[in-house]
Amino acid sequence: MKNKLKVFSVIILALVMVFAFAGCGKKTEAPAEEAPAEETAEEEAPAETEPAVELKYGYNGDDPVIAEVYSYAANALSVNYEEAEHHIPIVQIVNVDDSDESDIKVCGDFWVLNYNVEGDTLKCVSGGNYPGMMHVEKTDEGYKVKDMQVTEDGGNFESSAKEIFGDNYEAFSKINSDSDAREKIRAEIIAEYVRQNGLSVTKYQDEGWDPVDIPL
């Protein structure tokens, strides 16, 4: 019995060695890694942005100097007041001296009136008068107001106006004192401003006064 067990054990040992030898002789390679797929995400085209809408200020002519005067009156003079939705100037030109493109002198009676829209009405909330002379220069980008002389208030008004307007003082004085003509020009400028900027209003109104129909 012992001999049979011994023979059996030898056979088992031999088989184990054979399998072990066969296993050691076999080369196993790690599976090749697949190259990552190239991402071909489509580049998104930059979103098209609509150009900013350039506000117009009631001037319907083609003189770039006067267009700049309107823009300056609406933007630079309105900073003296609380913010409003619309700044509409009243521009009454007395004289333009364009003999020097680096200093074009535009004399006039300039107003800026500030409005908020309530329903179908432009309600005037503030404004003021700035008689004087704008100094406009020609640049590579166009015409720009570089400075403005404004008459003084109170007792110095007349003397300062005579100094600024010079030979044009009488013409300025006539314009400045004619409120009826100014209101007519105001209505025309408001109408043009409303058309240019697509506003859905039909009237304008000063505090304490009845609404006025815009001559559209």
Res 138: pLDDT: 97
Work out the burial of residue 215: count CB atoms within 10 Å of its CB; fewer than 13 is exposed, 13-18 middle, 19 or more buried: exposed
CA angle 138, 66, 127 (to 5 degrees): 120
Res 195: pLDDT: 96
Work out the burial of residue 135: count CB atoms within 10 Å of its CB; fewer than 13 is exposed, 13-18 middle, 19 or more buried: middle
Work out the burial of residue 131: count CB atoms within 10 Å of its CB; fewer than 13 is exposed, 13-18 middle, 19 or more buried: buried
Alpha helix segments (H runs only) across the chain: 2-25, 64-75, 157-165, 169-177, 179-197
Res 199: pLDDT: 97
Res 151: pLDDT: 98
**133 vs 96: CA distance, rounded Å:** 9
Res 30: pLDDT: 40
**180 vs 8: CA distance, rounded Å:** 133
pLDDT by residue for the chain (216 residues), tens digit each? Answer: 444 434 444 444 443 343 343 443 333 344 444 544 554 445 555 455 444 446 789 999 999 999 999 999 999 999 999 999 999 999 999 999 999 999 999 999 999 999 999 999 999 999 999 999 999 999 999 999 999 999 999 999 999 999 999 999 999 999 999 999 999 999 999 999 999 999 999 999 999 999 999 999
